[in-house]
Structure 1
Amino acid sequence: MKMLEFVLKNYKNFNARATKDATLAYWRHVEAGGKMFWAVAGAMSSAQLGITLAPAIRAGLIHGLSVTGANLEESLFRLVAHHGYKDFPEYRYFSKEDDTRILDDRMRRVTDTSIPEDEAFRAVEKFIVPMWKEAAAKGERRFWHEYFYDLVTTIGEDVYQGDPEECWLLAAARARLPIVVPGYEDSTFGNIFASHVKLGECDARVAKSGIEYMADFYDRYRELSASAGGAGVGFFQIGGGIAGDFPICVVPSIKYDLEEPAEPWAYFCQISDSTTSYGSYSGATPNEKITWDKLTAETPMFVIESDATIVAPIILSALLECRENPAEANRLIAASTAQG
């Protein structure tokens, strides 16, 4: 249990301490039967978070997701176009002319890596646009992620370039995890969809709206709460923005808008490098969420002010070790706690 032991031995103070405490509280929560809902912003799929996120889904450590439209599609891109990606480790020293050359090479840079236009966007477009048009012809309406669920589970393995075991979208689709994709219009395929609507080649109604996502999420949240057997549903957030803001509102909305009872979020952790500042919702401390009735004074709360591409794989790796050998994990945790 190398990662868990490493965290227990070395992570004593500051953000390291928060990482350790959040990991142990996460493990206690799911071991007690609790569910964990993840909110994933940023460009985590391009950063290959799927290497640890996909196994965590398969291990039953993640029970629902809120992701940006970009993270949804970019998980698929990594599966079908992995060999076409190009990395730029010296991106900090690029000039405008350097980035113009990347554009001319039909690449789209995301920090130190890049998505290939033809192998990713245009290749996937050939599959998904006919799905939208078929839905329009049949008068069907579906949630945005459902098109991607169907696509990722039906394309042939002959088109794989990335490791399917590292594709979190494929793992989530196979597990039929509940997903919300708020603001999916703000993604490459959201733009492609809009263009086909503008040209009269597709009906905008084939993709259900964000309002319909929330209306459906009321039921999904209550299902997760019921299946948690009293342990509740936790909220694990990477980054800020709509991926986190949208789903965490479900609890107060059920209580105040539907005027029905709702179990509070039972755990909260956010990994973010956004600094706390005036009006910075992404950098707001968890206590502020108490005033909006999203969290309570009893909710275990953790803020890890660090890079999620570093921290999240560490947490997930330690949790996977706990899941694989819970007795040994609990022994190590108890020994570490006794030592202080």
Structure 2
Amino acid sequence: MSTSKGAISQFIEKYYLHFNAAAVVDAAKGYEAQLNKGSKMLVSLAGAMSTAELGKIFAEMIRQDKVQIISCTGANLEEDIMNLVAHSHYERVPHYRDLTPQDEWDLLERGMNRVTDTCIPEEEAFRRIQKHIVKLWKEAEAKGERYLPHEYMYKLLLSGVMEEHYEIDLKDSWMYAAAEKNLPIICPGWEDSTMGNIFASYVLKGELKASTMKSGIEYMTFLAEWYTENSKNGIGFFQIGGGIAGDFPICVVPMLYQDMERPETPFWSYFCQISDSTTSFGSYSGAVPNEKITWGKLDIDTPKFIIESDATIVAPLIFAYLLDM
């Protein structure tokens, strides 16, 4: 057991000895080994990890350079900022399993959009951000400028225009930590998010051009260039959940060496996924790491870990280990 680690790390090393528990420790040590040898790490965020307030610990991972690039859904991109500006208006619904359709309708009429046990307040969260982000979109278009979705969010955060609305400590916002470092973010399928829907509505109304927002193809080409420039000592892949946040960026490797015909492209140097998806259902999210060998994403010797558990429980433990907590 490492004596340089904190109480949480020592606890999991002592008691997490078998099955999924052992995989947590093995994956954490593998992640740490990657960083120690100079490899970079991509972390992908699926689901509602921002609404789960992963930012409380993930922001510190960013500040301490434990992650060099992020892939996330549009929901995670915006929901961290929503929590930043509207936290006191959120409502927890611990008994969400008991809600009737009428209960759910009553939440809708109150503007409370539910994510499992947490309701996001539409007026204080969505609309508060909308007022400022639309202004940035229109200003960019007027200048003939185009940006990626996360770049607009970075501009919004760094401008300080929403500071009066901040309701949590800034150190608990992973998006603010990422903006301060101008950390690369990949946000595939951003259109499938509240802000993406709002942007589309302005395009439909003729108030914005679709081209003012850079596309998913431009995210992929950016990632291809970033991967090529940063893979000398390897790049690891730490996947929280499944879906497009993981499936999109992992494909950059076979794209580079198969479609771009660059045989020197290295495979991902580490892979871990926290997931409860079931392989036998045919889901990509549930595919075991070895299946990725057949797609040219991982090598035979790539350290591979899969933790079949709840990411809201497991990810903070692994991050705590990496932060010596």
Asked whether the two chains share a fold, i.e. TM above 0.5, the reply is yes
Question: Structure 1 residue aligned with 2:225, among 219, 225, 228?
Answer: 219
Q: Matches of residues 38-57 of structure 1 in structure 2 within 5 Å?
A: 38-57=43-62
Cα deviation per residue 1:152-189 (whole Å; 9 max; x = unaligned)?
Answer: 12124322112210100011111111111000000001
CA offset at residue 272 of structure 1?
0.6
Give the corresponding residue for 2:248.
246
Give the corresponding residue for 2:270.
267
What is the distance in 2 between the residues matched to 1:223 and 1:72?
25
Question: Structure 1 residue aligned with 2:188, among 165, 182, 189?
Answer: 182
Letter in 1 for 2:106: R
Question: Structure 2 residue aligned with 1:110, among 100, 108, 115?
Answer: 115
Pairing 1:92–2:94 present: no
Pairing 1:8–2:10 present: no
Q: Matches of residues 307-318 of structure 1 in structure 2 within 5 Å?
A: 307-318=310-321
Partner SS, residue 273 of structure 1? coil
Question: Structure 2 residue aligned with 1:257, among 252, 256, 259?
Answer: 259
Question: Structure 2 residue aligned with 1:166, among 172, 176, 181?
Answer: 172
What is the distance in 2 between the residues matched to 1:33 and 1:246?
24
CA offset at residue 104 of structure 1?
1.2
What is the distance in 1 between the residues matched to 2:18 and 2:273?
17
What is the distance in 1 between the residues matched to 2:265 and 2:182?
23
CA offset at residue 293 of structure 1?
0.6
1 or 2, which has the higher helix percentage?
Answer: 1
Partner SS, residue 51 of structure 2? coil
What is the distance in 1 between the residues matched to 2:84 and 2:265?
38
Cα deviation per residue 1:185-238 (whole Å; 9 max; x = unaligned)?
Answer: 000010000000000001110111101110111111122214xxx2x1100001
What is the distance in 2 between the residues matched to 1:253 and 1:196?
34
Give the corresponding residue for 1:234.
236
Cα deviation per residue 1:101-152 (whole Å; 9 max; x = unaligned)?
Answer: 1111111000000111111000000000011111111111111110001111
What is the distance in 2 between the residues matched to 1:15 and 1:152?
38
Question: Structure 1 residue aligned with 2:130, among 109, 125, 137?
Answer: 125
Letter in 2 for 1:118: E
Give the corresponding residue for 2:3.
none
Q: Matches of residues 138-217 of structure 1 in structure 2 within 5 Å?
A: 138-156=143-161, 157-217=163-223
What is the distance in 2 between the residues matched to 1:96 and 1:131?
38
Q: Matches of residues 313-332 of structure 1 in structure 2 within 5 Å?
A: 313-321=316-324
Pairing 1:67–2:72 present: yes
Give the corresponding residue for 1:22.
27
Partner SS, residue 323 of structure 2? helix
Cα deviation per residue 1:252-283 (whole Å; 9 max; x = unaligned)?
Answer: 11101111221210000000111112421110
TM-score (norm 2): 0.96
What is the distance in 2 between the residues matched to 1:212 and 1:170?
23
TM-score (norm 1): 0.92
5+ residue gaps in structure 1? 323-340
CA offset at residue 90 of structure 1?
0.6
5+ residue gaps in structure 2? 1-5
Partner SS, residue 269 of structure 1? strand
CA offset at residue 75 of structure 1?
0.7
What is the distance in 1 between the residues matched to 2:164 and 2:95?
33
Give RMSD over aligned pairs: 1.0
Pairing 1:283–2:286 present: yes
Letter in 2 for 1:254: L
CA offset at residue 294 of structure 1?
0.2
Cα deviation per residue 1:286-325 (whole Å; 9 max; x = unaligned)?
Answer: 1000000100110000000000000000110111017xxx
Amino-acid identity (%): 54
Partner SS, residue 282 of structure 1? coil
Letter in 2 for 1:218: A
CA offset at residue 32 of structure 1?
1.5
CA offset at residue 17 of structure 1?
0.6
Aligned pair count reads 318
Bigger shift: residues 195-204 or 136-145: 136-145
